[in-house]
Chain A
Amino acid sequence: MPAALLETKLFLPRPRRGLVPRPRLSERLDRGSASKLMLVSAPAGFGKTTLLAEWLAAGPAAPTDERSAAWLSLDRGDNDPASFWTYVVAALRTVEPGIGASTVALLQERQPPPIETVLTTLLNDLAAITSDIVLVLDDYHVVDAQDVQDGMAFLLDHLPPHMHLVIASRADPALPLARLRARGELVETRAADLRFQPDEAAAYLNGMMGLQLTAQDVTALEGRTEGWIAALQLAALSMQGRADVAGFIAGFAGDDRYVVDYLVEEVVQRQPDRVQAFLLQTSILSRLSGPLCDAVTGQSGGKAMLEALDRGNLFLVPLDNSRRWYRYHQLFADVLHARLLDEQPDQVPDLHRRASAWYEQHGECTVAIGHALAGEDFERAADLVELAIPAMQRSRQEATIRGWIEVLPDELVRVRPVLGIGVVGALMSSGEFEGIEGRLRDAERWLDTTSDAGQGPHGPPAEMVVVDHEELPRLPGMIEVYRAALALARGDLPGTVTHARRALDLLAEDDHLGRGAAAALLGLAAWTTGDLEAAHRSYADCMASMQRAGHLSDVLGCAITLADIRIVQGRMGEAMRTYEQALWLAPAQGGSVLRGTVLRGTGDMHVGMSAIHRERGDLDAARQHLLWSEEHGEHTGLPQNRYRWRVAMARVREAEGDLPGALDLLDEAERRYVGDFSPNVRPVAASTARVWVAQGRLAEALGWARQQGLSVEDDLSYLHEFEHVTLARVLLARHPVARALDEATELLERLLRAAEDGGRTGSVIEILVLQALAQQLRGDVPAALVPLERALELAEPEGYVRRFVDEGSPMAVLLVSAAERGIAPSYVQRLLAAFAKPEPEISPTADQGLVEPLSGRELDVLRLLGSDLGGPEIARELIVALNTVRTHTKSIYAKLGVNNRRAAVRRAEELGLLSRTRNTRPPVVRRP
Chain B
Amino acid sequence: MSETHALTGDRHGAGRYEIRLQGHLENRWAAWFDGLTLTRAGDGTTLIHGPVVDQAALFGLLQKVRDIGLPLVSVTHVEPDRPDVPAIDPR
Contacts and interface: CB of A to CB of B under 8 A. Distances in A.
A538 B46 CA distance: 68
Contact of A261 (B26, B30, B67): B26
A230 B44 CA distance: 21
B65 to A, nearest CB: 10
Interface residues of B, number: 17
B23 A259 contact: yes
A45 B69 contact: yes
A260 interface: yes
B25 interface: yes
A373 to B, nearest CB: 14
A145 to B, nearest CB: 13
Contacts of A331: 67-69
Contacts of A339: 28
Would you call the interface of chain A mostly helix, strand, loop, or mixed?
helix
Given A44-B67, A260-B68, A334-B68, A342 B23 contact: no
A261 B30 CA distance: 13
B25 A261 contact: yes
B31 A171 contact: no
B28 to A, nearest CB: 4
Given A258-B23, A258-B25, A330 B67 contact: yes
A170 B28 contact: no
B60 to A, nearest CB: 11
Interface in B1-55: 23-32, 44, 46
B67 A342 contact: no
B23 A338 contact: no
Nearest to B91: A257
Residue in B28, B68, B70 whose Cβ sees the most chain A Cβ within 10 Å: B68
Interface in A243-260: 256-260
B32 A338 contact: yes
Contacts of A260: 68-69
Nearest to B46: A258
B34 to A, nearest CB: 10
A342 B31 contact: yes
B69 A228 contact: yes
A338 B28 contact: yes
A343 B26 CA distance: 13
A141 B67 CA distance: 10
Interface in A147-191: 170-171
Given A256-B23, A257-B24, A258-B23, A170 B32 contact: no
A107 B31 CA distance: 40
A258 B44 contact: no
A49 to B, nearest CB: 14
A260 B23 CA distance: 11
A260 B24 CA distance: 11
A43 B66 contact: yes
A331 B30 CA distance: 17
A57 interface: no
B27 to A, nearest CB: 8
A810 interface: no
Contacts of B32: 334, 337-338, 341-342
Contact of A343 (B25, B28, B66): B28
Nearest to B71: A43
Contacts of B66: 43-44, 141, 170-171
Contact of A258 (B30, B31, B67, B70): B70
Contacts of B69: 43-45, 228, 230, 260, 331
Bin the interface of chain A by size. Answer: 20 to 34
A298 interface: no
Interface string B62-76: 000011111000000
B68 A258 contact: yes
A342 B28 contact: yes
A228 B25 CA distance: 17
A258 B28 contact: no
B67 A334 contact: yes
Given A338-B32, A341-B31, A342-B31, A170 B67 contact: yes
Residue in B44, B46, B69, B70 whose Cβ sees the most chain A Cβ within 10 Å: B69
Interface string A255-280: 01111110000000000000000000
A473 interface: no
A345 interface: yes
Contacts of B29: 258, 261, 338, 342
Nearest to A170: B66
Contacts of B27: 342
Contact of B30 (A44, A257, A259, A342): A342
Interface in A38-54: 43-45
Contacts of A330: 67
Contacts of B30: 342
A256 B44 contact: yes
Given A341-B32, A342-B31, A345-B31, A257 B67 contact: no
Contacts of B23: 256-259
Contacts of B25: 257-258, 261
A43 B62 CA distance: 13
Interface in A199-228: 228
A43 B67 CA distance: 7
Contacts of B28: 338-339, 342-343
A230 B68 CA distance: 11
21 contacts: A43-B69, A44-B68, A44-B69, A171-B66, A256-B24, A256-B44, A257-B23, A257-B24, A257-B26, A258-B29, A258-B68, A259-B23, A260-B68, A260-B69, A331-B68, A334-B67, A334-B68, A338-B28, A338-B29, A339-B28, A342-B27
Given A342-B28, A342-B31, 8 more contacts: A43-B66, A170-B66, A256-B23, A261-B26, A338-B29, A342-B30, A342-B32, A343-B28
Give the 3 A-B residue pairs with the shortest CB-CB distance, closest first.
A341-B31, A342-B28, A338-B32
Interface of B: 23-32, 44, 46, 66-70
Interface of A: 43-45, 141, 170-171, 228, 230, 256-261, 330-331, 334-335, 337-339, 341-343, 345
